Amino acid sequence: MGFVVRAARPSMVPYPKTTYILKLWQKENTVISEKIERFTVGRDVELDLHLAEFDVLGNLAHAIMLESIGLLTADELADLQTELIAIYKKTQTSEFIIEEGVEDVHSQVELLLTRKLGDTGKKIHSGRSRNDQVLVDLKLYVRDRLTQVVQATEKLFNVLQSRAEQHKNDLLPGYTHLQIAMPSSFGLWFGAYAEGLIDDVVQLNAAYRLANRNPLGSGAGYGSSFPLNRTMTTELLGFEGLHYNVVYAQMSRGRTEQAALTALASLAATVSRLAMDVCLYNSQNFGFIVLPDAFTTGSSIMPHKKNPDVAELLRAKTNRLKALPMEVTLVLSNLPSGYHRDMQLLKEILMPAFDEMLDCLDVAAFMLENMEVKTNLLDESRYDLLFSVERVNELVMQGVPFRDAYRQVGKEIGEGNYSGDELRPSRDLKHTHEGSIGNLNLEEIYQRMDNELARFEFDKVEKAFQNLLKA
């Protein structure tokens, strides 16, 4: 057996031509290659457009604070406020862009201010670092997107609760191990997912609170010699409180994203499980629900097919969302304290996840509103065994010890004496305890959701932003 000889790269072949461009943060005697620029900037310019409005709000709060400590005059503050509010209005439309050659949203906002106000525009960065600018923008962004997710979750919750009330008396087979177990109802089924969403909202609130801490003034992670009033900017931006330690403020980068994605993953798991139930229940072998024709697709070869693609894609999309917290974990693995460029990649994981989750919540609510529920399912004799526990309980109520009653019914079933019209078990259920078929506690579940929603204090944020944007 011989050796394989590979040709060496000829020394006369040049590496690809490299061009150089100057960035705002560079010193005049340094350059960076275009190839390295493309690699390091990645999708930042595209994704930073989502942060534009929050960057402006952070600058407004910072400018007010700078004036309060004498680093801006009252006239300079007024000019900055006027221009920043004008830029904010552009961020609400397609007018705001990050221009060619501008590195990110922070540079674009500062560039627009400097064009209009000259040296006054250059003063906006006093006491700040690009690091705490990114942190503030992301905190405000995550807080805002979580607000939208909570609102969409509440809408899905209300649909589920409404359908639970509508179908509380329509029985449904309950399963364990995918075998018929005991009687259930559509009221229980819809209501179960509604109450599950409350637990998801609890996790969304935990993520919201982590995003609701102010890192502004932490600079590059080691503070500033300027007498910054960080409590003032906390109040101006509607934050719950400060990240006090400036090193930890920087260390919260990644933790905020991971908490948000973990909450989304929990919510996604609820929607995924619901979607799987819909796939099963819509199939001919189960036949418990019917999706409208407009919600299904056909087959190119089988003319009878009505496929539940909407539920299948909900299942797949939400299953993908469940993986995202681990992506963040791996990006952050083994990082020491301080800022590292690795964290830039977190935006690529985080931002599309919110869009996907909101789309899934909207489609899930639409699907549930329009699906047809089949009634009188348990009238069929194939579901007789569902009522074996009811028979056991009936004997117990007559004074038979539970274990003896269990054996007696088991024997009846084993001998085939648990079917036929004369031995058919009664469908008359008497479930009365809290959370059972006959007592869904829907009002109590509504109240619990209201209590969890009230913990977010969305009004505080809205009022803070309204004050910042007063002309």
What torsion, rounded to 10 degrees, do the Cα atoms 44, 48, 50, 53 define?
Answer: 170
pLDDT for position 427: 79
Query: What's the distance, Cα to Cα, between the start and end of the chain in Å?
Result: 82
Per-domain residue ranges for the chain?
A: 43-126, 136-378+441-456
Q: Of the candidates 196, 188, 244, which has an alpha carbon nearest to the alpha carbon of residue 442? A: 188
pLDDT for position 109: 95
Count of positions (residues) in the chain: 471
Taking the domain 43-126, which CATH number applies? 1.10.275.10
Q: What is the DSSP letter of 26?
A: S
pLDDT for position 26: 55
pLDDT for position 9: 39
Query: Cα separation of 87 and 100, whole Å?
Result: 18
Query: Cα separation of 373 and 289, whole Å?
Result: 5
pLDDT for position 438: 87
What string of DSSP letters covers 156-175?
HHHHHHHHHHHTTT-EEEEE
Q: Which CATH superfamily is domain 136-378+441-456 in?
A: Fumarase/aspartase (Central domain) (1.20.200.10)
User: Low-confidence residues of the chain, pLDDT below 70?
Assistant: 1-33, 36-37, 39-42, 298-300, 303, 305, 417-424, 471
Query: Cα separation of 206 and 202, whole Å?
Result: 6
pLDDT for position 386: 87
Phi, psi at residue 213, to the nearest 5°? -115, 140
Q: What is the DSSP letter of 307?
A: B
Strand ranges for 186-269 from DSSP E: 213-214, 241-242
Contact status, residue 426 vs residue 387, Cβ threshold 8 Å: yes
What string of DSSP letters covers 364-396?
HHHHHHHPEEP--GGGSGGGGGGGHHHHHHHHH
Local structure of 423: helix, strand or coil: coil
- Given the structure tokens 């006239």, which residue do they identify? 75
Q: At what angle do helices 255-282 and 346-370 cross, to 10 degrees?
A: 30
Cα distances from 79 to residues 69, 106, 302, in angstroms, run: 17, 18, 68
What string of DSSP letters covers 70-132?
TSS-HHHHHHHHHHHHHHHHHHTSTT----TT--SHHHHHHHHHHHHHTHHHHGGGTT--HHH
- Given the structure tokens 């932003």, which residue do they identify? 465
pLDDT for position 84: 97
Query: Cα separation of 159 and 261, whole Å?
Result: 24
Half-sphere exposure of residue 411: CA atoms within 13 angstroms, side-chain side: 6
pLDDT for 332-360, tens place per residue? 998 888 888 888 889 999 999 999 999 99
Alpha helices, DSSP H only, in 237-387?
246-251, 255-282, 309-321, 324-332, 346-370
Q: Which residues pair with 20 in a beta bridge?
A: 33
Contact status, residue 279 vs residue 319, Cβ threshold 8 Å: no
Query: Cα separation of 111 and 118, whole Å?
Result: 9
**Contact residues for 72 (Cβ-Cβ < 8 A; gap 6+):** 63, 66, 80, 120, 123
